[in-house]
A and B are shown apart, each in its own frame.
Chain A
């Protein structure tokens, strides 16, 4: 197991490096001058060429791109992602301030997605081709085809304005987490339920299920202990990918529900051309996503020994 762990961690490093390189290259090769923007934002009025040169020198923008990239990577390794142009504070600080809120949202979304998708997928598998199966299938289809911001707006309309159950915006209590988490959860519940259905259908046709039935076990016990446990293996891998969908969804949903999080931070950073902040947020989100998937893979290898030895 420790060898598998080591090899998986080692695989992560080049991937993160290439992602940082691509993000850095896109941000720096394309036109746009951070120093100029910084001056325009801070001092207004006329920008003197002398002041611009001075600032460029200070920010290291006159160095070759390779040197700048080296500095970015070197900093990132020790948790320094540069300084935001707009806030004039370290990017890492801005991100960490909002990280908790984004994680709470993603985990909440994942929870709802499982809470809805798991029973729906199981029911659809047990009662194949019944109305509940058709409903689950249709739900999965529609769920995957709805714009996530729109689901959020409909949620606000129904549960906030019409029923008054939950606040439409903010992040002050658990109640304000419910609607955004439900929005993210419903969109991905369809994917989860479809996966659980197909995985469960396959498992239920296995010999050991027939053996369990033959020895007279109750149907409920067969489903939960023998069926679901084995059907969950592909689902766990999927959870890692769905976590990425949650992070991506958070970018949009945090704006819909006015939640302070990394998603909203990155959107406002793009609108205000705060390049170091955009770059830092994206690389950070990518790293979180990769780490979560690593954890999922490790859990998977722990559950299923074939993975450990096969790889």
Chain B
């Protein structure tokens, strides 16, 4: 048992204010910038079709028109408004990020919780699988799943989710291992709580911080992997305004119409940077050790 946990007598009792982590988070300029960017993209994703100046699927103009006052970001190969496509595409990319995180996070957290709490042979077996899967770069695992399910944006969400599941399992397992030894868990057991109740309401709720951080970072990562798969033709299919696919569509005319491939990339870059900034900000705000250093 770590000594730090038990030696609370010799430390002054510090009032832990509610939402103190939020205050720490708000002092971090990068994190706040990331949060603003994320909120911006979330609003765009919700309002997308309403604020887009044109129909993202309608061929309204000459193809490959450079950016102008009428078409801010130019038009694509088929004469569709690029800005409208990027705005509407935000919905797809954010959905991709969030849904893959849920698809990977929920089973991953459950596996980690079971492996860590139950222990013994169950743990050995599950850990073997988790470690083996972690030894494979996640895009390779995602490729196998896409190969079996067939290319589509829905399958990309499933594939990226499953491919990142072992990350959650390992993370939760290690937190559960240390939490389940704490005195309060023993107390909960002594007063007769059923095992499932202890697992979910006493152990898991106290392991939420690292999961939250990982999930935030993974939203960005999932968008990166997912758009890459779409770029390769293994994800969203035309005429979907998916950012990776849009970059792929502009590839053949890169030297004549640079804007078609480049602008969607800036959109991805800003969303992913935002996720990383918020994730890192949460990490330092939620980790008590890092808080004391400040």
Contacts and interface: CB of A to CB of B under 8 A. Distances in A.
Contact of B265 (A32, A154, A273): A154
Nearest to A241: B137
A157 B265 CA distance: 14
Contacts of B21: none
Given A18-B132, A141-B276, 4 more contacts: A141-B277, A145-B269, A150-B262, A286-B136
Given A245-B137, A285-B140, A286-B140, A148 B228 contact: yes
Contacts of B151: 270-271
A136 interface: no
Contacts of A18: 128-129, 132-133
B149 interface: yes
A139 interface: no
**Which of A27, A147, A273 has the most C-beta atoms of chain B within 10 angstroms of its own C-beta?**
A147
Interface residues of B, number: 46
Nearest to A269: B147
A256 B165 CA distance: 28
A204 interface: no
Nearest to B251: A153
A266 B147 CA distance: 9
**Which of A145, A275, A278, A293 has the most C-beta atoms of chain B within 10 angstroms of its own C-beta?**
A145
Interface string A170-212: 0000000000000000000000000000000000000000000
Given A153-B251, A157-B258, A256-B251, A271 B132 contact: no
A223 interface: no
Interface in B89-146: 128-129, 131-133, 135-141, 143-146
A303 interface: no
A178 to B, nearest CB: 17
B276 A144 contact: yes
A147 B269 CA distance: 7
B231 interface: yes
A26 interface: yes
A149 B245 CA distance: 11
Nearest to A21: B132
Contacts of A256: 251
B211 to A, nearest CB: 21
A37 interface: no
B241 interface: no
B135 A286 contact: yes
Interface in A8-47: 14-15, 18-19, 22-23, 26-27, 29-30, 32
B231 A142 contact: no
Contact of B132 (A15, A255, A293): A15
Interface string B212-236: 0000000010001001100111100
Interface string B244-256: 1001101100110
B25 to A, nearest CB: 18
A235 interface: no
B273 interface: yes
Contacts of B132: 14-15, 18-19, 22
